[in-house]
Amino acid sequence: MFLSTLLQELPLVFDEFPYIVTRVVTGFYHVLPLPPSLSRTELLATAIEQANANRLPTCIVFGQCDCLFIAEDGNKVPSILPPRGGRIVCRGILPPCNIIYDEKMFAVLDRLQTKVEAQIERGDNTIQFGDLTKGNREASPEDLSRLADPCDSIPTGLTRCTACNEYRGECLDPSPNFKGTVATVHCRCANDNRCVRCGELFSDRKLNTNVYRADRTIWHHPGFPALTHRCQSINM
């Protein structure tokens, strides 16, 4: 009874199944409707292909209480609770080439767009900047000892990539606002977020990662370029 009540009280992202939900940044999700004529096996294969290319947290929603979460590392977790809440968008991230949209599917997209616009009208249009924590975690005593940071030098734990010459690794965040936290830094070579339709990279570096700058600051690169990418001569 509790679960039934919970499902009724928590709003669904979308109520026309099936669809794929991609977490662009924390609290910001892209919804991609899929043709209901596809079998469960075909839907799962599509979601896996999407996740493998986008390299973003992905969920295939088969029904109101039936979904499967696919992590960036490929780990798959079934659940009865599809993603709910947060800011949603659509018509950004394209599906694989074999997913064909007919008039009925474009009508579903139009209804989803109406839901997105209604969300904005309700005031749910707060500008998103990505993960304001930069994905940092609280440093343990072992971290504080291992990553002790000498002043006026490259933070302990970061090394230069021999290919792109940028820094990578993990270190204590030098920023006073993030004191006592460990930041993971990626170099340009880590970039692997691609459009499943054309295979092109979404951005010039990996999405939702941190970049070390020469002024001893760590900048966060959010996932929004996944929404603005456009394949040449392909429209949706």
Whole-number pLDDT of residue 10: 55
User: In sequence order, what DSSP letters do the residues of the chain get, joined into one string?
Assistant: -HHHHHHHHSPBS-SSS-EEEEEEETTEEEEEE--TTS-HHHHHHHHHHHHHHH-S-EEEEEETTEEEEE-TT--EEEES---BSSEEE-SSS---TT----HHHHHHHHHHHHHHHHHHHTT--PPP-S-TTTT-EEPPHHHHHHT---TTSPPTTEEE-TTT--EEEEEE--SGGGTTEEEEE--GGG---B-TTT--BSSSS-TTEEEE-TTS-EEEE-STHHHH---TT---
Name beta bridge partners: 61: 19, 67
Task: Residue 149: name the closest of 125, 178, 122, 120 by CA.
Answer: 178
Query: Within 10 A of 41 (CB to CB), how many other CB atoms are there?
Result: 8
Q: What is the pLDDT along the chain (236 residues), one digit of tens a residue?
A: 434 444 444 567 788 999 999 999 988 999 999 999 999 999 999 999 999 999 999 999 999 999 999 998 889 999 999 998 888 999 999 999 999 999 999 999 999 999 898 887 776 554 455 678 899 999 999 999 999 977 668 999 999 999 999 999 999 999 999 999 999 999 999 999 999 999 999 999 999 999 999 899 999 999 999 999 999 755 54
d(CA 157, CA 150): 11
Residues in contact with 231: Cβ distance below 8 Å, sequence separation at least 6, in sequence order = 94, 195, 197, 198, 200
At residue 140, φ and ψ (nearest 5 deg) are -85, 165
Using CA atoms, how far apart are residues 76 and 140, in angstroms rounded to an integer?
29
**Sequence ranges of the domains in the chain:** 2-121, 137-228
Sheet order of strands, 87-89 included: 76-79, 66-70, 58-63, 19-25, 28-33, 87-89
